[in-house]
Amino acid sequence: MADDLALLLRRAGFGPTAAELAAAKKAGYDATVAALTAPTAPDVGASLAPVPVLGPDPLSGLSSPTVAQRAKASEERWRQTARITQWWLDRLTVADHQTREKLWFFWHGHWATSVRKVLRPQLMLTQHRTLRSSLDFAVMAHKMITDPALVFWLDGESNTRTAPNENLGRELMELFMLGIGRYSEQDVKAAGRALTGWRIDYDGARTFFSPGWHDNGAKTILGTTKNFDAHSLVDFLLKQDRCAAFIAERLWFRYASSTDPIPKSTRDAMVAVFPNSMSMLRKLFEDDAFRASAGRLVKQPTEWFVGAMRHLGLRPGELSDEMSTYVLNGLERLGQLPFAPPSVEGWPAGAEWLTVGAAQARLNLAGRIAQLVPAQRLTPEDVAHVLTIETWTNRTYAALKATTDPQHLLTIGLASPEYLVT
Amino acid sequence: MDAVTRRRFLLASGVVGGSALVAGAAKLSLGGLLHTAGEASAREDHRKTPKLVIVTLYGGNDGLNTVIPYASRAYYAARPELAYEPERVLRLDDALGLNPMLKGLSSLWGEQRLAVVLGAGYPKPDRSHFRSMDIWQSASPSGPTSSGWVGRWLDGTKAAPEAAVSFEPMLPPLLAGETRTGACVSIGGLKLPTGITPDMIGVLGRREPNESELQARAADAYANLININQLIRDAEAASAAPEVTVQPESPATSTGGSNVLSAQLLRVAQCVEAGVPTRVYSVSLGGFDTHASERIGHEFLLRQLDQALTSFAGRLSRTEAGRQVTTVVYSEFGRRVRANASDGTDHGTAGPVLVLGSQVAGGLYGEQPSLTDLDDGDLKATTDFRDVVGTLLAEVLQADPARYIGGGYEPKMLPFLARD
């Protein structure tokens, strides 16, 4: 029971503090699930890190910028990107409604869009706000299909009646709504045609519809022929049986096990409450298969870092500039920088985070984080308490016994296999 | 999509979760590899053994703008903004020419060390990046398998992990077998936070009874890290050890910049010259998913590819060990014949495979797919890519292709490797 609760809190959020874990143990599993998935109190913690306001893009209003203006703009955009990334890490750390924050992080990885191509942090932030304001998957899918960052990322703005671009239509079906192999190449082409006509107003950070660019002809998608457009396509895909099942599978993959497939009964329970994603999570957390999935997930680098901040009572928003830069570089070396997923498929999972290169990067970042904690006498048991580890394995205990330096103890604790794998 | 990374394929293929991987992949470092070169006489033997370097271009390279059918009217009609004028292409014959960025490869062609296999693909092409890449790496067009063709060769020959090595951060499905896998070799020396000793990390790297497989693998990563440190020190201590280039600490913040492929190939060359027992190397270059504004991006990538391959080939040609190396370059699919509205191309089908090296009989192999007889806008493959794989298995690895390709397929040998 106690182990179940630790597992639940680790998976639902970014890492419970010792106090949160103690409170949950008092409340019990069912009440904790309810509190996590339907928080009633306002999120006081999150109010410490309000969504930043970036102001206009540096090239906004310039129809033909000079080389110097472009260079300056690119530098400014880079600064703005660092700012929103640091902000998000801070927000993930201070928010009380951990389950919500983690779910938004999940959706970012699902509709994976990278600032590396989008370039404008304003568009990334617009997408981020949109994900936050979408109460269920259906609303989200409708908003995403015309989201300026996603449309730009998948070349949707240059998808026209005369020469369609398939990129957005393909990934809509393959990665966002149905899963691979649930459609034909003809469906991809037809979906591309349905999505024609959307263009981007960069200065306004919005998309708009140009009827003249839209293909008005009949399209046959998954056996249904009609004059599909972006929204009727999304509606149509939402009604496919595969859509709800696919989203349930993705949630399982990220919250329960990156290696074992979702049991059918678990999936059915989640599908029944689609498209409300928080309800789907609740069904997942209540499922026996979830409780039995301990040890099947590796923390993503962002989870690991934010968890460390929470456990040690630190705030990403209060780090020195030098340390902030080190953190962003460290997360990049570990393979996960928010707002910059490696591809439209989002981030990898499981053992892929456990490379030798990542082991070295993690040790060094752990070492720097530990230095931020004021030195005080610590035992291995104290470190376990702070990091909410139930018991150390013999191996890690032996490694911890090799030092008495508190910062070295924390470094080893943060890098330990039992801290990395939930 | 900007850059399709390898991770996508690894993840989706399911190979990374395979039992063989869990059992002990990625336990070797460059230092370790050099270490395995062993005694001088053994090293000398290894220098005389044929070796294969597999270069994967992730994202779907535009074959038609790599090996250009410059005499075809249909080529210019289908992609007016993307097509290269006949004067600019580097001619291979009176119909085909290389992209102007491929100057180095053009020289290799002149020296008859470059073979171009035309129209390579497989029946019923899949245009999903990862499924198509899975098909190429597993050499199994009929359905997904959990092993790569090099991995099955490792299984079949009961080879040691160092027989097949990847210089990429993660193991490609290509090198994963059912019971054995190749090794992912990382480079660079060990850097630890002050006060954290290699001994502590070594302890942290011990597996525990009854811990979950992922947790055990987390421990393995630390054990491997320490192993690497020790082996690199050993290798550096040995006079024969080539110089190890350490990757810069801070990552590039922009796409592009450092030539990732060059760095990987440099390490391959060092290992080949040092006489390590590796028979197959896997390296890669990503970013070929050029849906929009393709020309600039594609040229940038082809220039990188050309520079990396040319300097690699030049270096290899100077040593006997290097002359035993055959390099093959492929991508999961080509692009659509017709450009899209964004001056890019969408996912297509067949494309050229390049084979280069001192053992290669330069020339064109197979038939250029027709640009007028298309399959719903896509090229029809003229060469089964398994013929390329089969030829490499037979000629470079001296293995029975039918055994490792499977599915009842009988490869037809392509004569692009001229043995002495």
pLDDT tens for A360-413 read 889 999 999 999 998 889 999 999 999 999 999 999 999 999 999 999 999 999
- Residue-averaged pLDDT of chain A: 94
- Whether the per-residue pLDDT at A299 is higher than 50: the answer is yes
The DSSP output letter for B257 is -
At residue B335, the 3 state secondary structure works out as: strand
What H or E segment, with its residue span, contains residue B384? strand B383-384
The pLDDT of residue B208 is: 95
Q: How many CB atoms within 10 Å of residue B212?
A: 19
Q: Is the pLDDT of residue B184 over 80?
A: no
- Put simply, the chain B residues between 292 and 311 with a CB less than 8 A from any chain A CB are 292
| CB of A173 closer than 8 Å to CB of A236 | no
How far lies A230's CA from each of A141, A227, A247, B306, in Å?
Answer: 10, 10, 20, 41
Residue B29 at interface with chain A, using a CB cutoff of 8 Å: yes
How far apart, in whole angstroms, are the C-alpha atoms of residue A258 and residue A346?
A: 14
C-alpha dist (Å) from residue B194 to A321, A407, B8, B94, B202: 22, 10, 35, 64, 16
Architecture of domain B23-196+255-403: 3-Layer(aba) Sandwich (3.40)
Residue that wins the pLDDT comparison between A142 and B287: A142
pLDDT in tens, A302-349: 999 999 999 999 999 999 999 999 999 899 888 899 999 988 889 988
Is A195 in a helix, a strand, or coil? coil
Task: Give me the amino acid identity at B53.
Answer: V
**Lowest-pLDDT range of A3-7, A206-210, A354-358:** A354-358
Asked if A96 and A45 count as a contact pair (C-beta separation under 8 A), the reply is: yes
A261 part of contact set with chain B, CB < 8 Å? no
Residue A418 in contact with partner chain B when CB distance is under 8 A: yes
Partners of residue B192 in chain A, C-beta under 8 Å? 360, 363-364, 367
Taking the C-alpha atoms of residue A145 and residue A137, their distance in angstroms, rounded to an integer, is: 12
Rama region for B192: left / alpha / beta (φ>0; ψ in -120 to 50; rest) = beta
Residue B5: per-residue pLDDT: 38
Distance from CA of A314 to the nearest CA of B (A): 20
Q: Where along chain B do its domains lie?
A: 23-196+255-403
Task: Supply the pLDDT for residue A401.
Answer: 95
Model confidence at B25: pLDDT above 60: no
Confidence of residue B26 (pLDDT cuts 50, 70, 90): very low
Q: Supply the mean pLDDT for chain B.
A: 81
Which residues contact residue A264 at a Cβ distance below 8 angstroms, ignoring those fewer than 6 apart?
none
Q: Which residue of chain A is at minimal alpha-carbon distance from B212?
A: A295
Percent of chain B at pLDDT exceeding 70: 79
- Indicate the SS3 state at residue B352: strand
Q: Is pLDDT larger for residue A251 or for residue B129?
A: A251
Specify the 3-state DSSP secondary structure of B90. strand
Nearest to A411 among B169, B193, B224 (CB): B193
Q: Is B35 in contact with B231 (CB distance < 8 Å)?
A: yes
pLDDT for B259 beyond 90: no
Distance from the Cα of B212 to chain A's closest Cα (Å) equals: 5
Say how far apart CA A288 and CA A266 lie, in whole Å: 8
* Cβ within 8 Å, pair B218-A417: yes
Q: What is the mean pLDDT of residues B103-115?
A: 97
Residue B347 has what DSSP assignment?
A: B
Q: Among residues A341, A328, A420, A422, which one has the least CA distance to residue A368?
A: A328
Q: How confident is the model at residue B185 (pLDDT cuts 50, 70, 90)?
A: low
> Rounded CA gap, A242 and A250, in Å?
12
B225/A354 Cβ within 8 A: no
Contacts of A352 in chain B (CB under 8 A): 7, 10-11, 16, 170
A42-46, A235-239, B117-121, B274-278: least confidently modelled range: B274-278
Measured in residues, chain A has a length of: 422
Task: Check residue B141 and give its pLDDT.
Answer: 84
Q: Count Cβ atoms within 10 A of the Cβ of residue B128 and give its class: 0-12 exposed, 13-18 middle, 19 or more buried.
A: buried
Per residue in A215-231, pLDDT tens?
999 999 999 999 999 99
Pick from B386, B387, B403: nearest CA to B136: B386
Query: With an 8 Å Cβ cutoff, is A41 touching chain B?
Result: no
B92 at A interface, C-beta within 8 A: no
* 3-class secondary structure, B118: strand
Nearest chain A Cα distance for residue B223, angstroms: 9
CB of B115 within 8 A of CB of B366?
A: no
Residue A80 pLDDT > 50: yes
Cα angle at A47 between A44 and A51, to 5 degrees?
A: 150
Q: Does B232 score more than 70 pLDDT?
A: no
Range of weakest confidence among A234-248, A400-414, B26-40, B277-291: B26-40
Can you point out the beta strands (E) in A90-203? 198-201
**pLDDT-wise least confident of A94-98, A178-182, B50-54, B178-182:** B178-182
> At how many degrees (to 10) do helices A121-133 and A67-94 cross?
30
- What are the b/e assignments for A269-283, b being 16+ CB within 10 Å? bbbebbbebbbbbbb
CA distance A128 to A145: 14
Lowest mean pLDDT among B310-324, B384-398, B405-419: B405-419
Strand partners, B55: B283, B329
Given this model, what pLDDT does residue B4 score?
36
- Cβ–Cβ contact B418 with A under 8 A: no
B34 pLDDT tier (thresholds 50, 70, 90): low
B231 pLDDT exceeds 70? no
CB pairs under 8 A between A and B: 215
Q: How far is A94 from chain B (nearest CA, A)?
A: 27
Q: Which of A113, A106, A104, A4 is nearest to A46 (CA)?
A: A104
CB atoms within 10 A of CB A403: 17
For residue A126 the two structure tokens come to 């617009």
CA of B111, closest CA in chain A: separation in Å? 39
pLDDT of residue B32: 55
